[in-house]
Amino acid sequence: MDEQRGQTEQMRVSTRDLGELRERMRSWLTGRLGRPVAVSRLSQPSSNGMSSETLLFDASWDAPEGRRDIECVARMAPASEAVPVFPSYDLGRQFEVMRMVRERAGVPAPRALWFEPDAGPMGAPFFVMERLTGDVPPDVMPYTFEGWLLDARRADQDRLQRQSVEILARLHDAPFTAEELGTVTSHRSGGSALREHVDGQRAYYEWAHGAMRIPVLERAFAWLEEHWPADSGPAVLSWGDARIGNVMYQDFTPVAVLDWEMAGVAPRELDIAWMIFLHRFFQDVAEVFGLPGMPDFMRREDVCRTYQEITGYSPRDMEFYEMYAALRHGVIMARVWHRRIHFGEQPMPEDPDDLVMHRASIERMLDGSYWG
């Protein structure tokens, strides 16, 4: 249990000096806007997010129309010595996806302000977006342990759940063109969107873990091949990291949809299953510690029914997509453990399957008891 509690603690994401970053940001904004800019209160958030670096700061300057004061968030590609979670960080694509979903799908992504592809000014490419205020269900400590969502009335929890599913419905039903969808995927093999997505995930597994084999994940890959859907359905713009921990709420209503770095093109079920499984993941952690958690929240039947009511589309093959969600999460979390080992925060386990915090869930999926 101590190891599991340790994995819910904040992950180290930066090796950079904040004072130096503040001065670099001030200099860059001054050049970008063509007038002196003051940068203040630069800091890093204390919870959520394990991949790219996030900086919070205020920017102020005098403009022809008057004084401008903006609360900002910058997302930076991590330094190479920080053992990045992902092999590459296409921040330009993230910037474009945020603009697209805000303008074309009506999804409340933060307003994208500036993108800088050159690593020179800040030591890595980055983009800046508006900073909004609200409540985010935390990963640390998990919202299933304590906090505003756990303590909320059931009616408010249900309202948050429905409006979170509505984000997916709005995104998936948006009329993006084939050309627009092509800007958010790097795969061009000509296969189905699901085939390309799974193949890309396999390549990510090979990159993330190299010569170290993680048997439970390889068994999950094999299970997917044995249970491949007969028809994977239409491909849509996929958020990729569709979970309530990436949404900011005010009065249980989404006001900001965050973290688009895993966006791609995939069947609708990929996002639906990820939203379901990621809650189940935190619910299982709560139960390990003897806590009640939120067992009636984000249940598959409720989420799928709501999605069908809104879109008219009935999600299918959900066991396949929940296994795929558990597998994807397992690859990422095992990579995160490697990062913790690098920083001396966690020992290397004797059994490589223990790199996957939720290995028991995957093993139960493999033997069929998970859905019993």
CATH topology of 15-130 equal to that of 148-367? no
Q: Which residues contact 361 (CB under 8 A, 6 or more apart)?
A: 280, 281, 284, 326, 370
- Whole-number Cα distances in Å, 82 to 7, 148, 293: 17, 33, 33
Q: Residue 260's pLDDT is what? A: 94
Maximum C-alpha span of the chain: 66
Phi, psi of 78 (to 5 degrees): -70, 155
119-134 burial code (b ≥16 CB/10 A, e <16): eebbebbbbbbebeee
Each domain of the chain, given as residue ranges in start order, spans 15-130, 148-367
Residue 241 annotated to the active site: yes
Catalytic residue among 241, 271, 317, 353: 241
Beta strands in 147-197 (DSSP E): none
Q: Is residue 315 within 8 Å of residue 307, measured between CB atoms?
A: yes
Q: Residue 61's pLDDT is what? A: 96
| 89/344 Cα distance (integer angstroms) | 25
CATH of 148-367, one of 3.40.50.1820, 3.90.1200.10, 3.50.50.60, 3.40.50.300: 3.90.1200.10
User: Which of 215, 231, 238, 248 is closest to 325 using CA atoms?
Assistant: 238
Find residue 361's DSSP bridge partners. none
Beta strands in 230-281 (DSSP E): 235-238, 247-250, 253-257, 264-267
| 215/201 Cα distance (integer angstroms) | 16
Q: Residue 343's pLDDT is what? A: 83
Q: Which two tokens stand for residue 122?
A: 């800040």
CA angle centred on 224, ends 217 and 181, rounded to 5°: 100
Q: Is residue 52 within 8 Å of residue 75, measured between CB atoms?
A: yes
Which residue type, as a one-letter code, is found at position 274? W
User: Which of 225, 234, 28 is closest to 128 using CA atoms?
Assistant: 28
Please give the DSSP secondary-structure letter assigned to residue 142.
Answer: B
Q: Residue 47's pLDDT is what? A: 53
Q: Residue 355's pLDDT is what? A: 95
Mean pLDDT by 10 residues, the chain (372 residues): 40 66 96 96 71 88 93 87 80 94 96 96 94 95 97 98 98 92 67 92 93 94 97 92 98 97 95 98 97 98 98 98 98 90 86 95 97 83
| 25/368 Cα distance (integer angstroms) | 52
| 143/252 Cα distance (integer angstroms) | 14
Phi, psi of 175 (to 5 degrees): -85, 60
Find residue 264's DSSP bridge partners. 238
User: Which of 188, 187, 189, 212 is closest to 331 using CA atoms?
Assistant: 212
Q: Which two tokens stand for residue 325?
A: 């969600």
Q: Residue 1's pLDDT is what? A: 37
User: Which of 370, 285, 363 is closest to 7 using CA atoms?
Assistant: 285
The two beta strands, 235-238 and 264-267, are antiparallel
| 64/189 Cα distance (integer angstroms) | 50
CATH 3.30.200.20 is held by the domain 15-130: yes
Inter-axis angle of helices 300-311 and 268-288, to 10 degrees? 150
